[in-house]
Amino acid sequence: MTWHAEVRVMLKPSVNDPQGLSIRGGLHALGFDGVEAVRAGKLIQVRLEAASREAAERAVDEMCARLLANPVIEQYAFTLTEALVAPATR
């Protein structure tokens, strides 16, 4: 079975986010005065083969812990959906 995982990786709330601060500065400079705070993170879409939802969840969770996120400063969450029709191009 083919699965689509969508992984969200954000800096932990206690960690300084210079990219977010820089974006907020840019938005203020463009006149968006209503912007109060900005946090920047990563969105990673993974298509994978796995025999079951449980196997896919285990695999994605391990990918996050080992490569996609830095557990010291980042937190992650993901959603998993089954791809009902396999894409034509692999």
Burial 6-39 (b: 16+ CB within 10 A, else e): ebbbbbeeeeebeebeeebeeeeeeeeeeeeebe
Owner of token pair 């920047």: 40
Among the listed residues 14, 18, 54, 66, the single contact to its own copies using CB under 8 A: 66
Among the listed residues 21, 41, 61, 74, the single contact to its own copies using CB under 8 A: 41
Return d(Cα 5, Cα 56) in angstroms, integer.
Answer: 9
Give the residue with the Cβ less far from its own copies, 34 or 72: 34
Give the residue with the Cβ less far from its own copies, 2 or 70: 2
- Name residues contacting its own copies, limited to 10-29 (CB under 8 A): 10, 20, 23, 26-27
Q: How many residues does the chain have?
A: 90
Among the listed residues 16, 18, 54, 67, the single contact to its own copies using CB under 8 A: 67
Return d(Cα 50, Cα 5) in angstroms, integer.
Answer: 11
Per CB under 8 A, 77 contacts its own copies: no
Q: Give contact residues for its own copies (rule: CB under 8 A).
A: 2, 8-10, 20, 23, 26-27, 30, 32, 34-50, 59, 62-63, 66-68, 90
